[in-house]
Amino acid sequence: MKRRDFLQTAAITTTAMAVPSILSASVPPPTKQKPLKIGEGTTILFQGDSITDAGREKTRELPNSGSSFGGGYAFLAASSLLKNYATEGPVIYNRGISGNKVFQLADRWQKDCLDLKPDILSILIGVNDYWHMRNGQYDGTVEVYEKDFRKLLTDTRAKLPGVKLVICQPFILTGTSAVDESWVAPFAPYQAAAEKICGEFDAIWVPFQKVFDEALKHAPASWWAPDGVHPSMAGAYLMAAAWMKAVTGIQI
Amino acid sequence: MKRRDFLQTAAITTTAMAVPSILSASVPPPTKQKPLKIGEGTTILFQGDSITDAGREKTRELPNSGSSFGGGYAFLAASSLLKNYATEGPVIYNRGISGNKVFQLADRWQKDCLDLKPDILSILIGVNDYWHMRNGQYDGTVEVYEKDFRKLLTDTRAKLPGVKLVICQPFILTGTSAVDESWVAPFAPYQAAAEKICGEFDAIWVPFQKVFDEALKHAPASWWAPDGVHPSMAGAYLMAAAWMKAVTGIQI
């Protein structure tokens, strides 16, 4: 839908006022979901696929560095964490890699997770597990996704017993350049698997699909994620705001 | 100062709570300084030097694109604008270039400002006008800076009569790898010139020096800007928060 058509059919509101309501409608407050403690030197790791990667540089891969973080939600959430917890001085890494499915996280887990010894580990993975199967590049099913994801987290807990987990809901926006309605039904079980695993590991849940569904009341899907998978700057900020609210209780 | 030494000498507070107080102490509220209106399709341009550039890609230079915005305050502020004004759909560019002094903005102004027809133009410029003179690479004085800056804005107003201006205070953090106390006295007239010009053009003023001076109560200078000129992710977020508060009244 074109912006002008959208504006004609949607209630016109000032999103500056309305956007906090996106989050109040979609992200549980910290009273229901206890915010994680970020203390002196807490190490935080963002893991995932291209949405987390967002074009980050992969030679130096520095923590707390704008030059290494890419242009996505991980940069936005990490910058906010580094400002808001300046006195505590957390150490934050982004190790998302474009195209990754859950088994590809496992393949590089020693270097890109265990060696970094995160206190808080945030994972957003799943859209490629469905997408690459859909387009014939991969033969994994949702059962494989769920099994691989559970094994990855079981192994992680075994090696890092104190790690706090944040599981982000994989999401899609239909009516976009890559995603149509035919994605919804087959993708839902992947989202359900992620949520089930989140419960099993007592992880913080970040309900990105719910957040974007609310956001569609204020601007069309193309505004938030032109291809339905990769967020725009606006979509990335919305994700960072949802992440911050779910994990720390801070509104950004 | 090392973080641990700093923590021993500073009052230990949770910055998550304290950081809004940095801004309340240093950035005027919208009642004193009227927020700018961002309506349908408002075009916003960030201009400046390396602090604005922040490693952005310079081939495509797309608006509203995380891949073109670099890893600094412009990305953070623009992402927040694009989320908060989703319904209005602003168009936002970053055209900062590393190393620029005010006369170098003038040299590329047609392409990198006038052709984009911004409704809101934000400029952060001045630290190189001093720094490059200090290290012998440039022979401009503060008088040249003030004269060039005034001419740039006079020409801009002549060609874009409706443009709203945002002038950002150039800033330095002493006790860092590049900046010591000997910068303070000679740099102050550059800061004063920028503020004077801000008043002459009825621009919004973003008092970054004041913001960082407040922030130093919560973490050492190296946390906010390791070399005293280029902000860290934490420093960039603080800048974006100050910019958003001064320009829109929105707290991020």
How confident is the model over A66-77, as pLDDT tens digits? 989 999 999 999
User: Out of A55, A89, A234, whose CB is closest to B86?
Assistant: A234
Whether B171 contacts B184, CB under 8 Å: no
**Positions of chain B with pLDDT under 50:** 1, 10-14
Q: Which residue, chain included where needed, has tokens 């001419």?
A: B151
- Confidence (pLDDT) at A33: 66
- Confidence (pLDDT) at A215: 96
Average pLDDT of the segment spanning A140-153: 98
Around Cβ B50, how many Cβ atoms within 10 Å?
18
How confident is the model over A50-67, as pLDDT tens digits? 999 999 999 999 999 998
- Confidence (pLDDT) at B15: 52
Residue B240, SS3? helix
| pLDDT tier at A85, thresholds 50, 70, 90 | very high
- The reply to whether B109 touches chain A by the CB within 8 Å rule is no
- Confidence (pLDDT) at B13: 44
Residues A185, B141: Cα–Cα separation, whole Å: 66
Residues B5, B7: Cα–Cα separation, whole Å: 5
Burial (Cβ within 10 Å: 0-12, 13-18, ≥19) of residue A39: exposed
Within 51-70 of B, beta carbons closer than 8 Å to A belong to 54-55, 64-67, 69-70
ipTM for this model: 0.92
- What is the topology classification, in CATH, of domain B3-248? Rossmann fold (3.40.50)
For A193, residues 6+ apart whose C-beta sits below 8 A from its C-beta are A126, A142, A145, A146, A149
Residue A234 to residue B71, Cβ atoms within 8 A: no
Average pLDDT of the segment spanning A124-136: 97
- Confidence (pLDDT) at A35: 77
Residues of B in contact with A83 (CB under 8 A): 15, 19, 233-235, 237-238, 241
Tell whether the model's pLDDT for residue A11 goes beyond 60: no
Residues of A in contact with B236 (CB under 8 A): 66, 79
Tokens representing residue B74 in the block: 């412009």
Whether B179 contacts B230, CB under 8 Å: no
- Confidence (pLDDT) at B18: 55
Q: What is the DSSP string of B158-180?
A: HHSTT-EEEEEPP---SSSSS--
Residues B18, B16: Cα–Cα separation, whole Å: 6
Tell whether the model's pLDDT for residue A188 goes beyond 60: yes
- The reply to whether A88 touches chain B by the CB within 8 Å rule is yes
- Confidence (pLDDT) at B145: 98
User: Out of A15, A40, A250, whose CB is closest to B86?
Assistant: A15
Residues B71, B69: Cα–Cα separation, whole Å: 7
Q: Which of B8, B64, B79, B222 to mutate to test the interface with A (most CBs of A within 10 A)?
A: B79
Task: Tell me which amino acid residue A63 is.
Answer: P
Residue B252 to residue A252, Cβ atoms within 8 A: yes
Pairwise pLDDT comparison (B34 vs A206), residue with the higher score: A206
- Confidence (pLDDT) at B193: 98
- Confidence (pLDDT) at B12: 41
- Confidence (pLDDT) at B9: 52
| Closest C-alpha to A175, from A134, A130, A228, A138 | A228
- Confidence (pLDDT) at A6: 57
Average pLDDT of the segment spanning A192-208: 97
Residues of A in contact with B55 (CB under 8 A): 66-67
CATH number of A18-27+38-246: 3.40.50.1110
